[in-house]
Structure formats: structure tokens, C-alpha cells
Amino acid sequence: MPKISNKGIAMPQSPIRKLVPFAEGAKKRGTKVYHLNIGQPDIKTPKVALDAIKNNTLEIVAYSRSEGSDVYREKIANYYAKNDIHVKANDIIVTTGGSEALMFAFGTIMDADDEVIIPEPFYANYNGFSTASGINIVPVISKIEDNFSLPPIEEFEKLITPKTKAILICNPGNPTGYLYSKEEIKKLAQIVKKHDLFLIADEVYREFAYDGTEHYSILQENNIDQNTIVIDSVSKRYSMCGARIGCLVSKNKTIIDTAMKFAQARLSPPTYAQIASEAALDTPQSYFDDVIEEYVSRRNTLITELQKIEGVKVAKPKGAFYCIAELPVANADKFAQWLLEDFNYNNETIMVAPAAGFYSTKGLGLNQVRIAYVLNNDDLKRCAKILKEALTQYNG
């Protein structure tokens, strides 16, 4: 029998999705499953985006431009300008989700066996993207005890080798909800300038900054224009995960020209989804004000309820809609599967994402889970009660 590739064997399973068969099994047994495992907001997609699709009169769904439509990219540039980020339409390539933008970035700046430094825990699919690209993640560890703040710059410098090509951050962070301060971004800017590296920032949660804080983009650091690449997406901002529209943004013309070759190879981003995403840019600020107020309320509810559970440690997020919780269990993978296979509380259970998959360092995160607070407050309180009961039974 022919063999599959070593790369295929090495590709990690998604910790966010790998337990789906067990969740489906629980549902078939009549158990209600609360999904805390995936960042799928229950917030409604803006009406203006849905109407753009419903009212469209296209007679042919044709290819779009490889870099995305001119009109859409101009509108994206205007959106950035409102956020004090000054780029031109030609600095933007529209992609099939933020995932493709990151793959384009990796392909553009790194060769096989090159290294990218990433503070961990990090978005689990970075492991998959790096494996698919044949590059190596070098983790710099942030800790729950420090609320997952940026490790000292000296820790980054220790890890830089001739193979290092970039530092990648997610800001605000998935899975930690950590929001990088302006001072931290400036420190990263200094290090990439000093060592002639690229700085990639996954900024898809830009709008979700809490407690009076503000998001500061790497594109606001003008002295590193040639070093910066931003990954962005409509998925979370407008609750449009299924649209699969993102973009890669850089003022470095060589990066854009090179990434365009990858964009041309996959032909074009989806036409209808661009129409919806373009319309979504007209979403009123009141939408975001309401959404952020809701997420702050949910965060406060979840953190408060988790802190009441004996043995649970949790970091307080400053942005996005995730938190990492450390549980009094030896193996969160086994516990998460047990929740779906063998446990229910009044015919209900919860689905969480084991956090080990958000690390690349073996042995870290084994007793941690990522929780997405994408459910309403009453459901989150219910989930915390279910978790408390589950831990009591599990630890027997």
C-alpha cells in the first residue's frame, strides 16, 4: 500500500475540533452540549452584510481579482485609517480567511527549516500552518501566573539564530485574551529592527479590547514599515466566520509582490463573500459598542464563576473572547473527552478545548483548557456549575 507523507503524519489535529465525534455521540444520546470549545460567536452578523447577498443581482459568479476587488481593498484601507493605521489599497491582498493570509506570509518570507518565534500558548493552527510550510516554531513561554504577559525581550534574543526569520504574535491573543500594550509593541519593534527580522501580527480581534484599553497595531510603528506583516479577517469582527475572507497587509512592496504569486496560484478569493465583507465595513459603531459591552459582561461572569471553583486557576483576558483555565486534573485531553463520553449533569455537559494543542513545547498546558465565552451569561453560569460538578465526580 502506498505511504502518505511524513508531513501528513506530522500534521497536528485541531484541539478545537478533534473532540467533535464525541460531542456528536453525546447529542445522539440526548445530552445537551454547551460549546465552549470554538470561537464561533452567537452574535448576529450585521444586517447590512446579509442584505448585500440577499439583494445582489449577479448573473454570473465570476472570478474576482487575485488580490481582491479594488473597491473592497479601498474600503479596507479606509477602515484602517479610522483606526489610525495608514495603508493603501495596494498594500492589501484579500485572502480566503486569515488562515490563508498567514500561509501566504510564511511562504513569502520563510524557506524549509527556517524558524519563527511565537509566544506560547498560541492559536493552535499555527502548529499546523508551520508543519504544512515546513518551518519550525521556536516558542517563548508566557505563564498563567503572569496573566500571559509578554516575556522579557531578553528571552526573545536568546532564541534568535541564523535560521530565525520572524516573530509572530496574536494581538489580542487567542487563546489567552492577552492584549499587548503600546510599550510591548515598541519593544518588539526594536528587536526586529535590531536583528533584521519580520514581525507578523495576527490582529483579527482588534475591536475586542476591554477595560478602557486600546489596541495598538504594529502598522502604527512607522520605523519598521519594511519589517511588518498584519494578518486580518472579518470572521470575528462581524461574526462572519463562514465567509472565509481575510487579508494580508504590508507596506513592504516586495512582500506584497511575492505574496501575490501565491494569491495568483490559488486564483481568487470568493466573490459573494467579498460582497458581504465589503458591505460589512458599513456596520455602524453602535454594533461594536453593543457587542463589546456584551463580551465584557460575559468575561466578567465567566471569570467570576470559574474563580469560585476550588482548584481552578484562570487568567483574566484583556481582549478577544477566550481565556485559559488551569484545572485540578492531570490530563485535560482525557478530562475533555470524559465530559462528552461518560458524564452528564441533568442531561447536560460542556465541550472545551484542551490547551496542550495551543503549545509547541511538549508537556506544557496538559492541565489547561481554553474556554470561549461565546454563550450568553445564563449559559456561562450553567457551564461553570456543570464544570464544578464534573471536577468533583472526576476527582472522585
Q: Is the pLDDT of residue 21 over 90?
A: yes
**Residue 14: pLDDT band with limits 50, 70, 90:** confident
CATH number for the domain formed by residue range(s) 6-44+286-394:
3.90.1150.10
Q: Where in the chain is the domain with CATH 3.90.1150.10?
A: 6-44+286-394
Q: Report the distance separating Cα 259 and Cα 265, nearest Å.
A: 10
Q: Report the distance separating Cα 338 and Cα 27, nearest Å.
A: 14
**Coil/strand/helix, residue 249:** strand
CB 238 within 8 A of CB 46: yes
Q: Report the distance separating Cα 118 and Cα 168, nearest Å.
A: 5
Q: Where in the chain is the domain with CATH 3.40.640.10?
A: 47-280
pTM of the model: 0.95
Least confidently predicted of 29-43, 92-106, 246-260: 29-43
CB 372 within 8 A of CB 320: no
Q: Is the pLDDT of residue 19 over 90?
A: yes
Nearest by Cα to 353 from 26, 102, 39: 39
State residue 15's pLDDT score: 79
CB 200 within 8 A of CB 166: yes
Q: Is the pLDDT of residue 330 over 90?
A: yes
State residue 16's pLDDT score: 76
Average pLDDT over residues 19-39: 95
**pLDDT tens-place string over residues 301-321:** 999 999 999 999 999 999 999
Q: Is the pLDDT of residue 39 over 80?
A: yes
Nearest by Cα to 206 from 104, 318, 308, 367: 318
CB 364 within 8 A of CB 122: no
State residue 150's pLDDT score: 85
**pLDDT tens-place string over residues 174-201:** 999 999 999 999 999 999 999 999 999 9
Level-2 CATH architecture, domain 47-280: 3-Layer(aba) Sandwich (3.40)
User: Where are the extended beta strands (E) located within 252-355?
Assistant: 313-314, 322-326, 348-351, 353-354
The CA radius of gyration of the chain, in Å to the nearest whole number, is 21
**pLDDT tens-place string over residues 96-107:** 999 999 999 999
C-alpha cell at 228: 511588518
Report the percentage of the chain scoring pLDDT > 70.
100
